Amino acid sequence: MSERLDRRKRYTRKVLKESLISLLKDKPISSVTVKEICELADINRSTFYTHYNDQFDLLEKIEEEIADDLVQYLNSYSLSIEEESIEMTQKLLEYITNNQYMFEILLNENADPMFEKRMMNIAKRFIMFNWMNEHNVEQSDSRYLSTFVVSGAINVIKDWLDNDLDKSPKEMAKLISQFTNEGLSFLNR
């Protein structure tokens, strides 16, 4: 019986999340109402409030899930070898590919601007802890270098999403790695 309830609970949360994401395509989170989410999901408002406080809480839970997934991906790889760095980036890009619609919405102007900042902070902490220590980057410079690298990578990923994933995750991982490791010097080859 509890498995059935868990399955129903998972289904309810899934359709509520999908409904919010769908609404964020056309309007900012501040204009989305719980009533709209429930109508789209075909879920009773009291059921919504059993799971979430409001539309902002629902969005935060979606973002937390993605952040947790990304942290798991990042922690399963080491950036000490370039091939592993490319492989880790490729895995992240495959995750984004598999969740393309959600990322397109969460990184657009209608969603929470803190989502992008949260993703940047996760990546920056990971880079500062792993890669910077390996390459003996001074602590005072590591914050700026990680901001530069992560901001560039996120904007490249946003552009890739805008271009309907016109390159494979593997091609994009190599490009991002090349941009990060070689900067503009790769143009002089």
The domain of 136 spans 2-188
Which residues, including other chains, have CB under 8 Å from residue 37's CB and lie 6 or more apart?
Answer: 16, 19, 20, 23, 43, 48, 55, 58
- The number of beta carbons lying within 10 Å of the beta carbon of residue 63 is 18
Rg (CA), the chain: 19
pLDDT, residue 73, reads 76
The pLDDT value given to residue 33? 96
Work out the end-to-end distance of the chain between its first and last CA atoms, rounded to an integer number of angstroms: 65
- State the pLDDT at residue 6: 87
pLDDT for the residue numbered 81: 55
Cα 137 to Cα 113: distance, rounded to the nearest angstrom: 30
What is the block-wise mean pLDDT of the chain (189 residues), using blocks of 10 residues?
A: 76 95 92 96 95 95 89 70 72 87 86 82 70 60 78 90 94 87 63
**What is the Cα–Cα distance from 113 to 129, expressed in whole angstroms?**
25
Q: Is 161 within 8 Å of 103 (Cβ atoms)?
A: yes
> pLDDT tens across 107-162, in order?
887 777 788 888 888 777 766 666 555 656 566 667 777 788 888 888 899 999 99
- Per the structure, how many domains does the chain have? 1
CATH for 72: 1.10.357.10
